[in-house]
Structure 1
Amino acid sequence: MSAPTGAGPASAGYGRVFAVPEFRAVFAAHVLSMLGVIVSEIALSVLVYDLTRSPLLSALTFALGFLPYAVGGTLLAPVADRFPARGVLVGCDVVCAGCVALMTVPGTGIGLLLALRCALAVVSPVFSGTRMATLADVLGDGDLFVLGRSLLRIVAQSALLVGYGLGGLLLTAVSPRHALLITVGTFLASAALLRCGTRHRPARTRRGADTPPGPRALPTDRRVRVLLLMFWIPSAFSVVPEALAAPYADELGSGSVGLGLLMCALPVGTVAGELFAGARLGPKARERIALPLLCLTLLPYLGYALRPGLAASLVLLLLSGAGSAYTLGLDQWFVRAVPRELRGRAMTVLQAGLMTVQGVGMVLTGVAAQTVGLRTAVAGAGVTGVLCCCGLAMAARATEKEPGAEKRPKAETGLPGI
């Protein structure tokens, strides 16, 4: 079975991705894992607050979902390549299920609850990176990989929209510890799907291979470094309106309804942009628009300088979210630039970096808003972000003709392992 490589409509739809049985298993497992993560975050936050009545500790529970990512991505990245991918994925799900199961034990102290939350966050980048690298094995290195990765991102964004609402409703019916038990079930179901629905593949790198750990094992050429920054830098700026949504809604006088709309607008725009680019554009077109969209995606934030109302703010956020469709072209460049034997750790470092810069971005956003005000902070993030993105686009242009930058792996013309 071979993958068409043309740019016509036949190559641009998501339906071909679901025709691959292994992808269906990975996709279903991803949905279950996302639901498990979101429900556990809500339930654990409520549980910590019920036990301590401390808003600080409840907020810290959420923050711990970001901070340990850098540790896991740096120290555990080699695991993604030095062990068979299926075993790593199943093992991560089982570890997560075990950690959450311990949270449900009556009498578990706050310190242990937070430590278990950290353990989940340390394991998460290894799981995400291994899964992304496995996608390239399942779907090939070409257009199907880009569409498959796009679908997983769409699930993640949609889960943010739906999952928190469903999690809140769930907690009106059951206690936080019972909600955590449901999470244990979702992680175990994900592990079962991956174990039974994907085939065994050997490790990409021999365990005794002479490769340095973590990010230092990645290629030292400028192309890979620039591509990583093209994922990370826009994300650091894009979280600014989300981090300021609550005080901004209060300033607008729009209440909880306005807050909900402001939190939803960016992910809705992201999902819409990815769906359009994935379903209506071919691979060549997606690569052509990647750099222009990169330069434009943060431009709507400048509109905050005009003191927009709720409706105008929602439009600005929708437009910015839609611009993130540049990542489809970027995905193709990244998988093409990284050697297969380093792909697992490269994806792990990529995911860890994304979460880390978003956490740092949120902290710096709070400092900026406290100093210069809400609207100025968002508009300033737009100006700085656009300048950074334009610089990255120029760097990408400069590196695309370097040796190996445009080399296409043989796997792009077929689907290995199907």
Structure 2
Amino acid sequence: MPAATPTPAPTTRYKAVFAVREFRAVFAAHALSLLGLIVSEISLSVLVYDLTGSPLMSALTFALGFLPYVIGGTLLAGVADRFPARRVLVSCDLLCAACVAVMTLPGAHIGVLLAMRCGVAAVSPVFQGTRLATLTDILGDGDRFVLGRSLLRIVSQSALLVGFGLGGVLLMAVSPRHALLITVGTFCASALLLRFGTRRRPARTGAAAPLVRDSLKGARQVLADRRVRALLLLFWVPSMFAVAPEALAAPYADELSVGSAGLGLLMCALPVGTIAGELYAGARLRPATRERIALPLVCVAVLPYAGYVLHPGLALSLALLLAAGATSAYTLGLDQWFVRAVPQELRGRAMTLLQAGLMTIQGVGMALAGVVAEFAGVRATVAGAGVLGALVCVLLAREARRSEAAPEPSRPSRTLPTDGRDGADHHVTGR
């Protein structure tokens, strides 16, 4: 009699993630504060332009959203592990609300506005790293964590589509300073949701060293691990190439003579593809399948950009961007590997470093795309990003495979949560 074939474990669904009470609070807080942040970016850029009349200064307000991530992600990363997570998250929200509140003061100098913008940006990686690290305590370190992380990314992409439109409409009705008050309200609402919708848990580590020294030591420990380092690069490097079409969307829309409507479509195509890819992979594919396709997908993640060499019109350009966005489903597999690879006592610092590097390298990628386009043109720059990015991603995927096959004997032991039990008994915080 033939042996019975083992039944595969059932695939976790997004519905199971939403069944966790604390995750619902995290999800709502994330959506609120993210929409508020997008409104603040639009409002602040308009306000700075009104005060200075300088397009450069207006653009600088967006750039300052990327650059301070390096500071917060390296010098302040230790906060994520040495203080209770709920306290860190609520404090970050309130600090961001205070910074934006200062921006609303009549007569605030341009230097004050930009300084407060830097303050929000420096706090953001600490908040995001703490949220991701504690998400494993809410959902476990298995498939529910991956889907929870996916949902937060989907909210982020959706907020880009909705937030910029709402921000534009809002500024037609109220002044930029009054619009900023909405951001103050969303940060405060997020803080309340996290304070009363999540449980308190102790810090992961003690405060044995000064904060900056502890943060830098943690970054060195994280980067010293070959497996973790390879996964970090797989998160970071494709993003540097992926932002090229977004950075050059305005001049490309001008080349195509498609006007503001065409520019809007070009800006929306990549997020729409990303949402579709994440939803399909999260809802239809089993965890093992997501991990199996992660490296092949990352190798072709930016390859559709090579199609720009054909001088595509608007329709084909949108198809290429949608295809590139859909390949970002590889991040679900990387999330699972990353949370397995990082020791629990370093998880907050590792997640903070991940977020800081991701935002910083996107800013670098946008700047590089602009510089190259000055000499090579928009189409050649985007196509070059697709080809060069694909080659680099193949090399990184090979390194990730080697690091998996040859784990380092010096890697610290991991004391991870053993399962993803129902959130009613197994909760923590996050946004």
TM range (shorter): over 0.9
2:362 matched residue in structure 1: 358
Contact 1:82 1:204 in 2 (8 A): yes
| Aligned: 1:323 with 2:332 | no
1:284 matched residue in structure 2: 288
Contact 1:97 1:185 in 2 (8 A): yes
Match among 399, 403, 426 for residue 417 of structure 1: 426
1:131 matched residue in structure 2: 131
Contact 2:140 2:418 in 1 (8 A): yes
Distance verdict in 2 for CA 1:408–1:15, change over 3 Å: farther
Q: Which runs of at least 4 in structure 1 moved beyond 3 Å after TM superposition?
A: 209-212, 407-410
Amino acid in the other structure paired with 2:70: A
Contact 1:7 1:283 in 2 (8 A): no
Amino acid in the other structure paired with 2:215: P
Aligned counterparts of 2:414 and 2:77: Cα–Cα separation in 1: 25
Distance verdict in 2 for CA 1:7–1:267, change over 3 Å: farther
- Shift of the alpha carbon at 1:212? 4.0
- TM-score normalised according to structure 2 size: 0.93
1:79 matched residue in structure 2: 79
Residue 199 of structure 1 aligns to a residue in which SS? Answer: coil
Aligned counterparts of 2:69 and 2:8: Cα–Cα separation in 1: 37
| Aligned: 1:143 with 2:143 | yes
Amino acid in the other structure paired with 2:295: L
- TM-score normalised according to structure 1 size: 0.95
Contact 2:227 2:407 in 1 (8 A): no
Match among 391, 398, 406 for residue 394 of structure 1: 398
In structure 2, runs of 5+ residues without a counterpart are 1-6
- Shift of the alpha carbon at 1:296? 1.1
Aligned counterparts of 1:7 and 1:49: Cα–Cα separation in 2: 58
Aligned counterparts of 1:73 and 1:28: Cα–Cα separation in 2: 24
Amino acid in the other structure paired with 2:64: L
Q: Any idea what the Cα deviations from partners look like across 1:322-354, whole Å, max 9, x if unmatched?
A: 000000000000000000111011010000000
Contact 2:344 2:414 in 1 (8 A): no
Amino acid in the other structure paired with 2:158: S
Contact 2:293 2:330 in 1 (8 A): yes
Amino acid in the other structure paired with 1:213: S
2:4 matched residue in structure 1: none
1:213 matched residue in structure 2: 215
Distance verdict in 2 for CA 1:410–1:125, change over 3 Å: closer
Aligned counterparts of 1:228 and 1:378: Cα–Cα separation in 2: 24
1:378 matched residue in structure 2: 382
Aligned counterparts of 1:92 and 1:77: Cα–Cα separation in 2: 13
- Shift of the alpha carbon at 1:401? 2.3
- Shift of the alpha carbon at 1:175? 1.1
Amino acid in the other structure paired with 2:320: L
Aligned counterparts of 2:118 and 2:273: Cα–Cα separation in 1: 31
Aligned counterparts of 2:173 and 2:181: Cα–Cα separation in 1: 14
Distance verdict in 2 for CA 1:307–1:181, change over 3 Å: same
Aligned counterparts of 2:377 and 2:115: Cα–Cα separation in 1: 35
- Shift of the alpha carbon at 1:219? 5.6
Q: Any idea what the Cα deviations from partners look like across 1:241-296, whole Å, max 9, x if unmatched?
A: 00010000100111111110100000000000000000001111110110010011
Amino acid in the other structure paired with 2:377: G
Aligned counterparts of 2:177 and 2:301: Cα–Cα separation in 1: 41
Contact 1:85 1:201 in 2 (8 A): yes
Contact 1:83 1:203 in 2 (8 A): yes
Aligned counterparts of 1:314 and 1:7: Cα–Cα separation in 2: 38
Residue 411 of structure 1 aligns to a residue in which SS? Answer: coil
Distance verdict in 2 for CA 1:125–1:253, change over 3 Å: same
2:178 matched residue in structure 1: 178
Aligned counterparts of 2:57 and 2:124: Cα–Cα separation in 1: 21
In structure 1, runs of 5+ residues without a counterpart are 1-5
- Shift of the alpha carbon at 1:46? 1.0
Aligned counterparts of 2:310 and 2:384: Cα–Cα separation in 1: 12
| Aligned: 1:274 with 2:278 | yes
Match among 226, 239, 242 for residue 238 of structure 1: 242
Contact 1:270 1:318 in 2 (8 A): yes
Contact 1:7 1:281 in 2 (8 A): no
Amino acid in the other structure paired with 1:378: V
1:194 matched residue in structure 2: 194
Amino acid in the other structure paired with 1:149: R
Aligned counterparts of 1:104 and 1:399: Cα–Cα separation in 2: 50
The count of aligned residue pairs is 412
Amino acid in the other structure paired with 1:338: V
Residue 224 of structure 2 aligns to a residue in which SS? Answer: coil
Residue 405 of structure 2 aligns to a residue in which SS? Answer: coil
Amino acid in the other structure paired with 1:95: L
Residue 204 of structure 1 aligns to a residue in which SS? Answer: coil
Contact 1:25 1:193 in 2 (8 A): yes
Match among 282, 293, 298 for residue 294 of structure 1: 298
Q: Any idea what the Cα deviations from partners look like across 1:356-375, whole Å, max 9, x if unmatched?
A: 00000011101111111111
Q: Any idea what the Cα deviations from partners look like across 1:358-404, whole Å, max 9, x if unmatched?
A: 00001110111111111111111111100111011111111112337
Identity, % of aligned positions: 71
Distance verdict in 2 for CA 1:139–1:7, change over 3 Å: farther
- Shift of the alpha carbon at 1:217? 3.5
Aligned counterparts of 1:383 and 1:247: Cα–Cα separation in 2: 21
Residue 341 of structure 1 aligns to a residue in which SS? Answer: helix
Q: How is 1:224-235 mapped onto 2 (pairs within 5 angstroms)? A: 224-235=228-239
Contact 1:68 1:121 in 2 (8 A): yes
Residue 403 of structure 1 aligns to a residue in which SS? Answer: coil
1:155 matched residue in structure 2: 155
2:264 matched residue in structure 1: 260
1:91 matched residue in structure 2: 91
- Shift of the alpha carbon at 1:412? 4.5
